[in-house]
C-alpha cells in the first residue's frame, strides 16, 4: 500500500493517454465520384461545359470535385446534352444514401454519391468507403443499373443499385 500514490498516478496518466489517443476515422468524401476517362466519353461531348456558369475554366471530363449542378440540357456549341440527376434516397439498412449521375448524350459519364448517412458507425463507414468506389466503377462499366454489387457490402450495393435506377429513370433511360 506504500506504492499506492505511484499506482494511482500511473493509472491516471495511462487513462489520459488512452482517452486522448486520436484515431483517424475513415470518412467517405461525398464530393468525389467516378467518371469515365475522357477518351471513352467520346468526342466533343467530353469537353463541353454547360452554357451557364461560363466563367468555369475548361476542364477535362475526368476532373473530380465538380460542384453540384441541377439537371440541365444544351450547350453553347449545340453539342450532345449533358444532364445530371440525383436518385431517390434509399434506406439500405445501415443508413441512407442517394446516387448522383451525369449523362452525356446516352452515356453515363459520372457516378457519385449525393447523400450518405451511415449513423456514424465506424464499421459501416469503413465498408462503405471500400465498396462505394467499386460500385461507381461497376455502374460506369455496365452503363446501367445492373451491377454485380460488392461482396461484404450487399446492403450498400442493393441501396446503390436502387438509387442509381431511380436516377436513370428520371432521365428517361
Partner 1 sequence: MPRPGFVNVCAAAAGIGFGAVLASVITNESRAALAAPGGLLTAAGRLAALTGTYLILIMVVLVARLPWLEQSVGQDQLIRWHRRLSGWAISLIIAHVLLITLGYAEAAQSTVVSEAWLLIRSYPDMLAAVVGFGLLLLAGITSYRAVRRRLRYETWWVVHLYLYLGLALAFAHQIVTGVSFIDHPLVRALWIAIWISTAGLVLTCRFGLPAWRSLRYGLRVVEVRREAADVMSVICRGRGLDKLPVSGGQFFLWRFLTRDLWWQAHPFSLSALPQPPYVRITVKGLGDASRTMASLRPGTPVAFEGPYGVFTDHARLSDGVLLIAAGVGVTPLRALLEDLPRDADVVVIVRASTVADVPHRAEIAALVDHRRGRLHELIGSRHKVRLTARTIRHLVPDIAARDVYICGPPGFGDEVAGAAQNLGVPDDQIHSETFGF
Roughly what angle, to the nearest 10 degrees, separates helices 122-142 and 154-170? 50
How do 107-117 and 90-91 pair as beta strands? unpaired
Could you tell me how many residues of this chain bind partner 1 (CB under 8 A)?
Answer: 28
Residues 18-47, one symbol each (x = binds partner 1 by CB under 8 A, - = not), give xx-x-xxxx---------------------
Which stretch, 43-51, 65-73, 138-146, 152-160, contacts partner 1 (CB under 8 A)? Answer: 152-160
Which is closer to partner 1, CB of 9 or CB of 15? 15
* Residue 1 binding partner 1, by CB under 8 A: yes
* Residue 94 binding partner 1, by CB under 8 A: yes
Distance from C-alpha of 112 to C-alpha of 65, rounded to nearest angstrom: 10
Q: What is the per-residue burial (b if ≥16 Cβ within 10 Å, else e) of 38-67?
A: eeebbeebbebbbeeeeeeeeeebbeeebe
Q: Which residues of the shown chain bind partner 1 in the complex (CB under 8 A)?
A: 1, 7, 11, 14-15, 18-19, 21, 23-26, 93-94, 119-124, 126-127, 130, 151-155
Amino acid at each position: 500500500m506504500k506504492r499506492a500514490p505511484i499506482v494511482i498516478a500511473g493509472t491516471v496518466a495511462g487513462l489520459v493517454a488512452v482517452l486522448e489517443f486520436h484515431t483517424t476515422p475513415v470518412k467517405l468524401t461525398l464530393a468525389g465520384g467516378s467518371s469515365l476517362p475522357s477518351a471513352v466519353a467520346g468526342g466533343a461531348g467530353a469537353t463541353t461545359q454547360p452554357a451557364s456558369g461560363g466563367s468555369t475554366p475548361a476542364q477535362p471530363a475526368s476532373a473530380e470535385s465538380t460542384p453540384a449542378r441541377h439537371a440541365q440540357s444544351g450547350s453553347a456549341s449545340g453539342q450532345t446534352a449533358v444532364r445530371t440527376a440525383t436518385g431517390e434516397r434509399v434506406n439500405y439498412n445501415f443508413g441512407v444514401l442517394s446516387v448522383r449521375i451525369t449523362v452525356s448524350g446516352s452515356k453515363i459519364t459520372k457516378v457519385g454519391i449525393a447523400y450518405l448517412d451511415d449513423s456514424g458507425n465506424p464499421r459501416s463507414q469503413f465498408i462503405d468507403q471500400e465498396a462505394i468506389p467499386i460500385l461507381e466503377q461497376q455502374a460506369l462499366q455496365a452503363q446501367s443499373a445492373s451491377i454485380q454489387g460488392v461482396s461484404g457490402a450487399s446492403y450498400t450495393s442493393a441501396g446503390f443499385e436502387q438509387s442509381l435506377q431511380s436516377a436513370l429513370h428520371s432521365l428517361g433511360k
